C-alpha cells in the first residue's frame, strides 16, 4: 500500500498533523495495510479538533470503503461499510421511505465517525443518540481478528466502541436501524425569540420531533440570547420544493469577513428573515438537516488560521443561569461568528464516552484570533463548574484536567480500550491530549 | 428498453462510481474483475442503489479463457448490452527499466486483453442493433513521455483500437466513447508526487454518463485536459525530447 505523506487538519483547521495516510479501496487492501502498520482509522475529518489526527504517525482514511451491504425492508436495518457518509445513506434511502434515526448537522460525517463520536441530532430529546440505533458493529481488533459485536454479545466492548473515538478497534461496517419517513420534505415552523429566557422557554415547551435554535451570539443587553427556533416534522406526503445547488468556497477568506461589525450586521439580517410572528415553510431534508453542506469547504470562510468551536451541554437546573453568563462573555468578546446553536438534549447516550446528557447544549464558532483559545478555555471551566460536559468531536483546547471530571466512566473506558489495543497503536492526538487511555 | 452494463475492472474507484451511477438509473450491472469478494460487495451496493440485477463475474485480462463465461452470461440478458472497460496497469517506469518483461503485462492489461475481449463481445451488441462501449484510454497515450511511455504506448494502442471499433459499431447502430482521463483521485494516483487538478471518481462517472447520453466520440475528463494535451501535442518533437514533463 502506498502511503501519502503530508499535512492534514481537523475541520476547524487550527490543529494539524503531519504524517502518513493510506486510503484502501478494498477490504483486502485495508487488511494488507494494517499488516504493514497498525494505526487509527479516520473518516471525512469533520471533527473540529484533533480526534482524527495522529501527528508524526500513520492513519487510514476509510472513506473509500463506503458500500451498502444489506437492507431489510421488514426491520429497517441497514448494514454498510464504515466509510459511507450519513448524507449518502439519507440521499439513497429517503426516497424509499427510510432515513437514519439520528442525523448529525453535516451529511459528510461517515458512519464510522457517527459511531465513534456517538453523534446526536435535532431530535435527540426524543430519539436519543446515534449509537442507540446501532445494532451490530463489525470491529477489526488490533490483534487482526474481526468480531461482530452487539449490545447482547459484548455489552461492555459495545458501549466502549460507541463514542469510543476509534480506540477499541477499526469499525469495518455497522448495522443501524432506520426509521420510516413519509416524504423527503420537512414542514418547518420558525419563531423568533427576543432574548435568552424566551428562547429557553420555547425550547422547553416545544413538542416537535425535530427542534433546533439559531442564537445570535453578538446580541447584548435586552436582546442577549435572541434567536430563531426551528421546529419541524417530516411531511407525510411530498410537496414540490425548489432544491438549491451546491456551491464551494474557492479560497481562504480574508479576516474582515468575520470581524465583529460584519457578523453583527449579518446576524441582524438573518434574524429579520423571520417575521416577528414566525412563519411556516417547506424545506428539503438536505437543507433542514445539513444546512451548511450546500457550501462545500465552508471552513475556509474562517481564513487560513481556522476556527474553534465550543460545544457544551449543561444540566437543566442551572442551565439558564450558566448560559446567561456564557452569552454575556461571548457577546462582549466580539469574537463570535454567525454560527451558533442552542438546543435541548434528552438523556439518551449510547456509550461510556458519549457526550449527550439531559439539558441544554450550546455550540458557538470563533475565528482563531489571539484571544479565542483563552475564551474557549474559560467557557470550558464554566461548563465544568456547572456540572456539564464538552464534546470531544468539537474541542481543540481542553486539558486532560478539565476533561476528566466530566466523564464518569472514563477510567473504565480506558481499561477496555487498553485491553483491546495493548500496544496503544490506535491512539490519536486527541486521546493523548485528553489522556483518554489513562486508567487513573 | 432494458439496459445492461458490463463493467470490466469493476474494483477500481472510477469503475465503482460509474457502476453506481448506472445502477441508480435502473440498469442491470455485471461487475467483472479478479477480486470476487470485493466485486460481490459492489454488486450488493449496486442492488441497494437500484439495479434490478447486479452480479460479480470473474475476469482476468491475462486469461482469455475467462472471457467466454462472461459472453455467455451477458447473452442471456434481454435488451441492450453495454460495456465499460476500466482496466489497465501502470508499473513505475523504473520498475520496467529494471525488468523489461513487465511490458508484456502492461500491454495486456491496458490494451490487448480488453481489445481481445471486446472483439468477441461486440458481435453480441451488433446482433441487438446498438449499445455503447466506453473505453478508458489516457492522456498518457497522447504523447510518449519519459515518465510512463510504456503505459502511454499501451493506452495509445487501445485508443486507436477504440477508434476503429467506433467505425465498425456505428454501422450497427451502436456507439463507442473513448475517454481520456487526466489525474483522477484513485488508488493508482494516491500519494504520487506531481498531481494537480485531481478529479474525483464521481465527477468522472458523471462525465461518462453525459458522453454516453450525448453519443460523444472522444472526451477528456475533466474537460480542460483537452486543452492541456493540445498544448503538449503542439510542442515540436525537437524541443519535447529535451523536456521532462
Q: For chain A, what are the domain ranges?
A: 4-61, 68-181, 185-237+245-403
List the CATH number of the domain containing B141.
3.40.50.720
Distances (CA, A) of A22 to A40, A360, B90, B186: 11, 39, 19, 12
Domain annotation covers residue B245: no
Cβ of A69 and B41 within 8 Å? Answer: yes
Q: Out of A2, A26, A67, whose CB is closest to B190?
A: A2
pLDDT in tens, A406-439: 999 999 999 999 999 999 999 999 999 999 999 8
A337 has pLDDT over 90: no
Nearest to B133 by CA among B104, B91, B170: B170
Of the candidates A4, A25, A69, which has its C-beta nearest B191's C-beta?
A4
Q: A80: which 3 cell numbers? A: 454498510
A367-385 pLDDT, tens digit each: 999 999 999 999 999 999 9
Whether the complex's predicted ipTM surpasses the cut of 0.90: yes
pLDDT tens, residue by residue, A152-165: 999 999 999 999 99
Give how far Cα B107 sits from Cα of A96, B116, B156, Å. 45, 12, 10
- pLDDT, one tens digit per residue, over A71-128 is 999 999 999 999 999 999 999 999 999 999 999 999 999 999 999 999 999 999 999 9
Q: What is the pLDDT of residue A250?
A: 82
- What pLDDT score does A36 carry? 92
Output the nine-digit C-alpha cell for B20.
Answer: 453506481
Domain holding B184, by residue range, is 3-240
Contact B48 A4 (CB under 8 A): no
Cβ–Cβ below 8 Å for B38 and A27: yes
DSSP string over A106-138 = -TTSBHHHHHHTT---TTHHHH--GGGGEEEEE
pLDDT in the model for residue B179: 98
Strand residues in chain B grouped as ranges (E): 3-8, 28-33, 54-58, 80-85, 132-136, 175-181, 218-221
What's the DSSP call for residue A246? Answer: P
Instruction: Give the residue among A126, A105, A288, A274 at the shortest CA–CA distance from A207.
Output: A126
- Whether the CB of A385 is below 8 Å from some CB of chain B: the reply is no
Q: Please give the pLDDT value at position A166.
A: 98
**E-assigned strand segments in A340-406:** 340-345, 359-367, 389-390
**What is A68-181's CATH number?**
3.30.465.10
Binary contact (B12, A5; C-beta < 8 A)? no
What percent of chain A stands above pLDDT 70?
100
Q: What pLDDT, in 10s, does the model give residues A230-265? A: 999 999 998 888 777 778 888 888 888 888 888 998
Share in percent of chain B as helix, strand, coil (round to 5): 50, 15, 35
The CATH superfamily of A185-237+245-403 is: FAD-linked oxidases, C-terminal domain (3.40.462.10)
In chain A, what residues touch B38 (CB-CB under 8 Å)? 26-28
Report the run of H or E that residue B105 belongs to, with start and end. Answer: helix B102-107
Write out the residues of chain B at the interface with chain A, using a CB-CB cutoff of 8 A: 11-13, 16, 35, 37-38, 41-42, 44-45, 48-49, 186-187, 190-192
Could A26 and B38 be called an inter-chain contact, meaning their C-beta atoms sit closer than 8 Å?
Answer: yes
pTM comes to 0.95
Residue to test with chain A: of B9, B90, B184, B191, most A Cβ within 10 A: B191
Averaged pLDDT in 10-residue chunks for chain B of 245 residues: 96 97 98 97 98 98 96 96 95 92 97 98 96 96 92 97 98 97 92 88 97 97 93 93 86
Is residue A28 less than 8 Å (CB to CB) from chain B? yes
Residue A397 has pLDDT above 90, yes or no: yes
Is B44–A29 a contact, with Cβ atoms under 8 angstroms apart?
Answer: no
**A15 pLDDT exceeds 90?**
yes
> How many structural domains are present in chain B?
1
Domain assignment present for B13: yes
Amino acid at each position: 500500500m502506498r502511503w501519502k505523506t503530508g499535512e492534514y487538519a481537523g475541520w476547524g483547521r487550527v490543529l494539524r498533523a503531519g504524517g502518513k495516510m493510506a486510503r484502501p479501496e478494498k477490504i483486502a487492501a485495508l487488511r494488507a495495510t494494517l499488516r504493514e502498520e497498525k494505526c487509527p482509522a479516520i473518516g471525512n475529518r469533520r471533527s473540529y479538533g484533533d480526534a482524527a489526527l495522529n501527528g508524526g504517525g500513520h492513519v487510514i482514511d476509510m472513506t473509500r470503503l463506503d458500500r451498502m451491504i444489506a437492507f431489510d425492508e421488514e426491520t429497517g436495518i441497514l448494514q454498510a461499510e464504515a466509510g459511507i457518509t450519513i448524507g449518502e445513506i439519507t440521499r439513497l434511502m429517503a426516497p424509499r421511505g427510510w432515513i437514519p434515526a439520528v442525523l448529525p448537522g453535516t451529511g459528510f460525517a461517515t458512519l464510522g465517525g457517527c459511531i465513534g463520536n456517538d453523534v446526536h441530532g435535532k431530535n435527540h430529546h426524543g430519539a436519543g443518540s446515534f449509537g442507540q440505533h446501532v445494532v451490530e458493529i463489525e470491529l477489526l481488533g488490533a490483534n487482526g481478528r474481526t468480531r461482530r459485536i452487539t449490545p447482547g454479545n459484548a455489552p461492555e466492548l459495545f458501549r466502549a466502541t460507541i463514542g469510543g473515538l476509534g480506540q477499541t478497534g477499526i469499525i469495518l461496517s455497522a448495522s443501524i436501524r432506520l426509521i420510516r419517513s413519509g416524504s423527503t420534505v420537512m414542514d418547518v415552523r420558525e419563531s423568533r425569540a427576543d432574548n435568552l429566557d424566551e428562547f429557553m422557554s420555547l425550547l422547553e415547551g416545544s413538542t416537535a420531533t425535530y427542534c433546533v435554535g439559531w442564537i445570535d451570539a453578538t446580541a447584548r443587553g435586552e436582546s442577549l440570547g435572541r434567536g430563531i427556533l426551528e421546529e419541524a416534522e417530516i411531511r407525510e406526503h411530498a410537496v414540490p420544493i425548489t432544491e438549491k445547488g451546491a456551491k464551494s468556497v474557492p479560497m481562504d477568506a480574508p479576516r474582515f469577513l468575520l470581524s465583529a461589525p460584519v457578523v453583527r450586521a449579518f446576524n441582524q439580517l438573518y434574524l429579520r428573515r423571520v417575521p416577528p410572528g414566525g412563519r411556516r415553510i417547506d424545506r428539503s431534508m438536505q437543507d433542514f438537516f445539513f444546512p451548511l453542506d450546500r457550501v462545500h469547504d465552508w471552513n475556509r470562510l474562517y481564513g487560513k488560521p481556522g476556527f474553534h468551536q465550543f460545544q457544551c451541554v449543561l444540566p437543566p437546573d442551572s442551565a439558564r443561569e450558566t448560559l446567561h453568563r456564557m452569552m454575556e462573555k461571548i457577546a462582549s468578546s466580539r469574537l463570535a461568528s454567525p454560527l451558533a446553536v442552542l438546543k435541548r438534549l434528552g438523556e439518551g447516550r449510547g456509550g461510556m464516552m458519549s457526550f449527550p446528557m439531559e439539558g441544554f447544549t450550546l455550540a458557538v464558532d470563533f475565528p482563531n484570533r489571539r484571544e479565542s483559545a483563552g475564551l474557549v478555555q474559560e467557557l470550558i471551566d464554566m461548563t465544568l463548574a456547572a456540572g456539564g460536559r464538552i464534546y470531544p468531536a468539537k474541542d481543540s483546547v481542553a486539558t486532560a484536567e478539565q476533561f476528566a471530571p466530566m466523564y464518569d466512566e472514563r477510567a473504565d473506558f480506558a481499561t477496555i480500550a487498553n485491553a483491546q489495543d495493548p500496544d496503544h497503536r490506535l491512539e490519536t492526538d486527541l486521546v493523548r491530549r485528553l489522556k483518554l487511555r489513562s486508567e487513573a | 428498453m432494458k439496459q445492461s452494463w458490463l463493467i470490466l475492472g469493476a474494483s477500481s474507484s472510477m469503475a465503482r462510481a460509474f457502476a453506481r451511477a448506472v445502477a441508480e438509473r435502473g440498469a442491470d450491472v455485471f461487475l467483472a474483475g479478479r477480486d470476487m469478494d470485493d466485486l460481490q460487495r459492489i454488486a450488493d451496493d449496486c442492488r441497494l442503489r437500484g439495479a434490478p440485477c447486479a452480479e460479480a463475474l470473474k475476469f482476468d485480462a491475462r486469461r482469455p479463457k475467462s472471457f467466454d463465461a462472461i459472453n455467455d452470461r451477458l447473452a442471456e440478458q434481454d435488451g441492450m448490452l453495454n460495456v465499460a472497460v476500466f482496466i489497465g496497469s501502470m508499473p513505475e517506469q523504473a520498475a520496467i527499466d529494471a525488468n523489461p518483461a513487465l511490458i508484456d503485462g502492461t500491454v495486456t492489461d491496458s490494451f490487448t486483453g480488453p481489445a481481445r475481449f471486446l472483439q468477441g463481445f461486440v458481435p453480441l451488441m451488433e446482433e441487438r442493433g446498438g449499445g455503447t462501449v466506453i473505453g478508458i484510454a489516457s492522456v498518457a497515450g497522447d504523447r510518449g513521455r519519459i515518465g510512463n511511455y510504456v503505459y502511454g504506448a499501451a493506452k495509445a494502442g487501445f485508443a486507436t483500437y477504440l477508434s476503429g471499433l467506433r467505425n465498425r459499431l456505428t454501422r450497427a447502430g451502436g456507439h463507442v466513447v473513448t475517454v481520456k482521463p487526466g489525474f483522477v483521485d484513485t488508488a493508482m494516483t494516491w500519494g504520487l508526487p506531481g498531481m494537480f487538478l485531481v478529479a474525483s471518481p464521481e465527477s468522472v462517472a458523471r462525465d461518462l454518463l453525459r458522453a454516453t447520453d450525448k453519443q460523444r466520440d472522444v472526451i477528456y475528463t475533466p474537460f480542460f485536459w483537452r486543452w492541456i494535451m493540445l498544448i503538449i501535442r503542439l510542442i515540436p518533437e525537437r524541443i519535447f525530447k529535451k523536456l521532462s514533463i
